Amino acid sequence: MRRIAAATLLALGMTSMVHARPFTARDLVTLDRVSAPRLSPDGQRLVYVLRSVDYDANKSSYALYETTPRGGDSHRLTAIGSNATSPQWSGDGKSLYFLSNRTGSSQVWRLDSAGEARQITRYPVDVDSYTLAPDGAHIAFSAQVDPLCPTLKCSADHAAARAASKATGTLYARLFARHWDTWEDGTRAQLFVAALGATGVGSDEPIRVAKSLDADVPSKPFGDDSEYRFSPDSRTIYFAARIAGTTEAWSTNFDLYTVPADGSAEPMNLTASNLAWDTAPVPSSDGRHLYYLAMSKPAHEADRFRIMDLDLTTHRSREVAGQWDRSAGALSLSADGRTLNALADDQGERPLFAIDIASGTVNRVAAGGNITDYTQAKGITVVARDALKAPADLYRVDAHGQLSAVTQVNAQRLAGVEMGEPEEFHFKGWNGDTVRGYVVKPVGYQAGHRYPVAFLIHGGPQGSWLDDFHYRWNPQTYAGAGFAVVAIDFHGSTGYGQAFTDAISGHWGDRPLEDLQKGWAAAQAQFPFLAGDQACALGASYGGYMVYWMAGVWSKPWKCFVDHDGVFDTRFMYYATEELWFEETENAGTPFEHPENYERFNPLNHVADWHVPMLVVQGGRDYRVTPDQGVAAFTALQRRGVPSEFLHYPDENHWVLKPQNSVEWHDAVEAWLKRWTQSP
């Protein structure tokens, strides 16, 4: 066992508390959230995004703040009453660009040294993402448009006419009909380039550089500006796209394209030979190489993202650090062009790594906890980092990987708040492999006492219980309510090598279940304060699937279950979900070709054995695991006479995001746990 290293409240000098109180869901929801740190080119100024919550108004707002990489006071840069996100410095460091909705739609703005913000795009559609060209004279941006429209005004007019129409039907001829939480409306995310004139304002009608492609640039639903980049001379744009056609819903064949920034030629596919996922282009400073991320397995979303080096002259590619069995993300290039930086899950953490391009040597730049973003300039590295006992803040990284706090945005809010102490443990799971888990002691823990347990099961299933401060499934909310927490990184989890991740495919109900069973036994043996006879199991998405599965095949230890947006019927899941490649990969084919694969671990087939009380939660706008799954499970529970409740959120997707909904969710879950774990 080892105690989890974390930038805890102790490090911030806040444990000298006279009247400590437990951490609550209300605390979780109202914490400020730090993201998107950006150092100025000279390394002297540090800008970041701060998300704040107005709980009474039930909404969040975003603003830009500035400090220095040495820390100290921060001051707000952007106006109150509007949102500001996506900061980017100009190459000379004299201007800061950002997205804001202060004039009613999302547009690009520029903040100059005088401190005055100026709107530089005035388009009739929202600007969703953007990036600056190295020459400072152009900007690339994405917007949702009608692909048949020749102008942005045409797209805006079509949207207005549709909204005004009294006919509400939409005719679909291919998938996707809906995606994540949105019904398709015929628009596409498209990539544009605008010249910034002498006054720095974007041209009236930008150039749509990839209009010939039936594709979203960037991808939906979570694509961003990391999927497109200018070349160093600003004459070329590299971008990732998946051609839609009739196969979009079951294909992960994203390719990298190159296109002149002036739109003078059609896009050219650079990675056509790889039928799997290619993305995140990063050009070398001399323009001769293109670094990017690539999977090798078609129709797979949880394959390892390898780092690739494409020689743009010879068109030959090679893998960088092929021996590194981790999946990279957030790729960037060092100032000297010799090193690539990346984030990757690794043994329950998400460190920042530096990869030598020539040798493939991989080194940790900063570790411990969960690094979500980073920025570098003039030899300075600043990371956004959270941990099990610490919400996100910014930290400066020294040459030895040591961290020093730059911000402490929640210091006052968390003064006098106590959190549970986490500890990691290991055991032998399926196939004799070492499996990792952690426990969190309840707030107010006293040696010799036994405590009820919340047994948390992560989703994905290719995910991980990281040493992180999760803003939805946070162990500290359960610890604050008096529960001990147990969480297991079963086979299928990320950060332990690709073979460990792949082990779950086709084995949803056996290998991870064995890990959970052995992990539960190991936790009780190693931590005697866990009251094994007062425990409930909880999970969402795949974790929700596992809760339904356990209800039929491993119910004996549990006093209750909580299932959030879980898969109840694996066969119907295929026909109702949107991204079919996931189902086809996990079940080795379609249900009409291989029905046995979908029935092998189908929770629906074990409803006759359900008897443990269950709370079912379902989002009405969840098109990943659709609402019928939750309704069907609740129907089964009610018809069998199993004590059960159904909590439905018509305005939430796969996640519960609205502040007051989140607190209500936590209150309902905690009440359910306490109801069934109280001693007789």
Q: Within the chain, what is the greatest distance between any pair of CA atoms?
A: 77
Contacts of 449 (CB under 8 A, 6+ apart): 529
Instruction: Identify the sign of the CA torsion 392, 397, 402, 405.
Output: negative
What is the arithmetic mean of pLDDT over 128-144?
97
Among 377, 401, 403, residue whose Cα is nearest residue 392: 403
pLDDT (tens digit per residue) in 200-223: 888 889 999 998 899 999 999 999
pLDDT of residue 7: 42
Q: What CA–CA distances, in Å, run from 438 to 370, 416, 430, 466?
A: 15, 25, 18, 10
| Confidence grade of residue 16 (pLDDT, cut at 50, 70, 90) | very low
Q: Is the pLDDT of residue 464 over 90?
A: yes
Q: Select from 673, 515, 534, 539 the least CA-distant residue to 603.
A: 539
pLDDT at site 203? 81
**Mean per-residue pLDDT of the chain:** 95
pLDDT at 12 over 60: no
The better pLDDT of the pair 129, 7 is held by: 129
Domain boundaries, the chain: 417-677
Q: What stretches of 123-240 show up as alpha helix (H) in DSSP?
A: 152-164
Q: Supply the CATH classification number for the domain 417-677.
A: 3.40.50.1820
Confidence tier at 680 by pLDDT (50, 70, 90): low
In angstroms, the Cα distances linking 406 to 10, 65, 108, 330 are 16, 13, 28, 21
Record the tokens describing residue 441, joined without a space: 């002691």
Q: Does residue 9 carry a pLDDT above 50?
A: no
Q: What pLDDT is stored for residue 14 in this prediction?
A: 41
Category of 342 on φ-ψ map: left (φ > 0), alpha (ψ -120 to 50) or beta: beta
pLDDT tens for 62-87 read 999 999 999 999 999 999 999 999 99
Residue from 232, 229, 277 nearest 253 by CA: 277
Using an 8 Å Cβ cutoff, are 297 and 304 in contact?
no
DSSP per position, 608-668: GG--S-EEEEEETT-SSS-HHHHHHHHHHHHHHT--EEEEEETT--SS--SHHHHHHHHHH
Percent helix, strand and coil across the chain, each rounded to 5? 20, 35, 50
Cα pseudo-dihedral 150, 154, 158, 161, rounded to 10: -160
pLDDT for res 3: 47
Q: How far apart are CA 148 and CA 57, in angstroms?
A: 39
Does residue 17 register a pLDDT over 60? no
Q: What is the pLDDT of residue 679?
A: 63
User: Residues of 637-662 as b/e, b for ≥16 C-beta within 10 angstroms?
Assistant: beeeebebbbbebeebbbbbbbbebb
Reported as a pLDDT band with limits 50, 70 and 90, residue 492 is: very high
Cα–Cα dist 561/676, whole Å: 9
- Cα–Cα distance, 366 to 14 (Å, whole number): 24
Residue 281 pLDDT exceeds 50: yes
pTM attached to this predicted model: 0.95
Take residue 337 and report the two structure tokens written for it. Answer: 């062009």
What CA–CA distance (Å, rounded) separates 370 from 5?
11
Q: Using CB atoms within 10 Å of the CB of residue 436, give its burial: 0 to 12 exposed, 13 to 18 middle, 19+ buried.
A: buried
Of 578, 627, 658, 580, the closest CA to residue 184 belongs to 578
pLDDT digits (tens, 9 = 90+) for 148-184: 999 999 999 999 999 999 999 999 999 999 999 999 9
The secondary structure element, H or E, covering residue 535 is strand 530-540
pLDDT tens readout for residues 79-118: 999 999 999 999 999 999 999 999 999 999 999 977 789 9
